[in-house]
């Protein structure tokens, strides 16, 4: 389903349209619901677990929007799994599924909040030093670190003064801290491309701004 992202070549590779992906996941869950209604809990269990696998696969991706999408699919699938166990009278397993659902809910909320907050923070050059500090943390998921570096390198797209007049010195200095920081190759590529974009003219900045905002 997903091609590996090569940020050294292009940090703005398109992300999946969530609507058809969610529709495919929900089609699986609809089949699981049909199995439940027709007294086939084992088949329903298998179908729902397939949807969970899809969600987890997306969460292993490098693009944070894909991680959020995968968490949404996993959340809907786990909710269905709890219903399957309840209808089958497997109450101990239902309780475990409910606990699992609570964890997935918390994870999804954190991912959604993180994605929106990172991009909002990156719009202000004054925030970029802090974002760089977070991006250095090896313990963070690679997709989160990637989004942090994108916000430092290209967050000026959400700042009219920087888009018109060029990225602020504070942003340039922050990104320079990551050059030669022994980052994974996927992240080093973003640093290189972001540094190069700092020297673009207005027309090229407008093109880059559009791509960052739409991926």
Q: Which residue has the higher pLDDT, 3 or 100?
A: 100
Please say if the pLDDT value at position 8 is more than 80. Answer: no
Please say if the pLDDT value at position 9 is more than 90. Answer: no
* Confidence (pLDDT) at 87: 80
pLDDT band at 91 (very low <50, low <70, confident <90, very high): confident
**Mean pLDDT computed over 68-96:** 89
Q: What is d(CA 79, CA 72) in angstroms, rounded to the nearest whole number?
A: 11
Q: Are 167 and 123 in contact (CB under 8 A)?
A: no
Please say if the pLDDT value at position 83 is more than 90. Answer: no
Please say if the pLDDT value at position 86 is more than 90. Answer: no
pLDDT band at 93 (very low <50, low <70, confident <90, very high): confident
Please say if the pLDDT value at position 5 is more than 90. Answer: no
* Confidence (pLDDT) at 3: 40
Alpha helices in 88-201 (DSSP H): 91-122, 128-135, 142-154, 160-165, 169-176, 185-197
**Mean pLDDT computed over 78-89:** 85
Angle between helices 64-87 and 41-59 (to 10 degrees): 160
pLDDT digits (tens, 9 = 90+) for 188-203: 999 999 999 999 999 9
* Confidence (pLDDT) at 180: 80
Q: Smallest Cα–Cα separation from 151: which of 194, 176, 122, 121?
A: 122
Q: Smallest Cα–Cα separation from 131: which of 174, 183, 166, 170?
A: 174
pLDDT digits (tens, 9 = 90+) for 124-181: 999 999 999 999 999 999 999 999 999 999 999 999 999 999 999 999 999 999 998 8
First-to-last CA distance in the chain?
17
pLDDT digits (tens, 9 = 90+) for 102-130: 999 999 999 999 999 999 999 999 999 99
């Amino acid at each position: 389903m997903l091609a590996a992202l090569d940020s050294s070549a292009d940090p703005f590779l398109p992300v999946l349209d969530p609507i058809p992906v969610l529709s495919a996941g929900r089609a699986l869950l609809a089949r699981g619901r049909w199995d439940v209604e027709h007294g086939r809990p084992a088949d329903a269990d298998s179908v729902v677990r397939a949807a969970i696998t899809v969600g987890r696969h997306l969460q292993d991706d490098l693009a944070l929007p894909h991680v959020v999408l995968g968490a949404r699919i996993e959340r809907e699938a786990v909710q269905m799994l709890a219903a399957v166990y309840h209808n089958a009278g497997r109450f101990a397993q239902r309780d475990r599924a409910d606990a699992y659902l609570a964890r997935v809910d918390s994870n999804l909320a954190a991912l959604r909040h993180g994605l929106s907050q990172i991009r909002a923070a990156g719009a202000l050059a004054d925030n970029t030093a802090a974002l760089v500090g977070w991006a250095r943390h090896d313990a963070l998921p690679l997709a989160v670190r990637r989004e942090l570096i994108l916000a430092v390198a290209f967050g000026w797209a959400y700042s009219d003064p920087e888009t018109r007049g060029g990225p602020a010195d504070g942003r340039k200095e922050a990104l320079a801290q990551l050059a030669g920081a022994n980052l994974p190759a996927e992240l080093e590529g973003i640093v290189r491309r972001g540094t190069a974009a700092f020297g673009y003219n207005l027309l090229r900045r407008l093109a880059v701004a559009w791509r960052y905002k739409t991926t």
